[in-house]
Amino acid sequence: MMVATVALVIGGVRSGKSGFAASLASRFAEDKAVRFIATARADASSHLSMRIDRHRSERPGHWRTIEAPLDIGDALLKPGDEAAAIADCLSVWISNIMLECGDSDAPGFEERARSGVENGLASLFAALRDSERPVVIVTNEAGCGVAPPTRLGAVFADLQGEVNQAVASRADIVWQVVAGIPNRIKAPG
């Protein structure tokens, strides 16, 4: 089995990374359908729901959306004829896992969160290994600002940075988007 291309698109909030990821997946798919793996929960806050609706309206109608707030790997491997896939985004996925771990002040929270993320990454990496379609993964950059003042924020920032490094190391191509401008920071080979 030929291993498909894996591209990571990283950037700050509202940097243009999702739009760039969509254009990249479109190029991989060559006008065929794209599987859009959404990690945001549709039942989230009204602000997030409005963003989800806006993102959906910007995608071509023939793209298939799969909501996967906790298991990106499983969503990647579902049968379908899409020519490429996008997973958007790892930051929301990490938050979802952390929310499943209960009270952040309770003993063992960090261990549960770390275990959930590690298990999810193992599933994602297995799916990337077995995928026959190119995959574009979107994530937020961590650590470009002030260190989080809360324990919850610090656990999230640590996990986000570790996930970004792990996925970037396995990606064939890594793009960083700044102010809507994509810059390739890792090339194949």
Report yes or no on 81 lying in a domain. yes
Report yes or no on 39 lying in a domain. yes
Average confidence (pLDDT) over 62-86? 94
Report yes or no on 56 lying in a domain. yes
Alpha-carbon gap, residue 127 to 129, rounded angstroms: 5
Alpha-carbon gap, residue 159 to 144, rounded angstroms: 15
Q: What are phi and psi of 144, to 5 degrees?
A: -95, 0
Per the structure, the count of domains in the chain is 1
Report yes or no on 25 lying in a domain. yes
Report yes or no on 168 lying in a domain. yes
Report yes or no on 1 lying in a domain. no
In this structure, what CATH number is given to the domain that contains residue 127? 3.40.50.300
Q: Who contacts 125 (Cβ-Cβ below 8 Å, separation ≥6)?
A: 73, 170
The residue range of the domain holding 17 is 6-186
Q: Who contacts 62 (Cβ-Cβ below 8 Å, separation ≥6)?
A: 33
Report yes or no on 83 lying in a domain. yes
Average confidence (pLDDT) over 129-143? 93
Structure confidence at residue 31 as a pLDDT band (50, 70, 90)? confident
Alpha-carbon gap, residue 39 to 100, rounded angstroms: 14
Residue 2 has pLDDT above 50, yes or no: no
Q: Would you name the residues annotated as active-site residues?
A: 55
Average confidence (pLDDT) over 123-128? 97
Report yes or no on 27 lying in a domain. yes
Rg of the chain, C-alpha, whole Å? 16
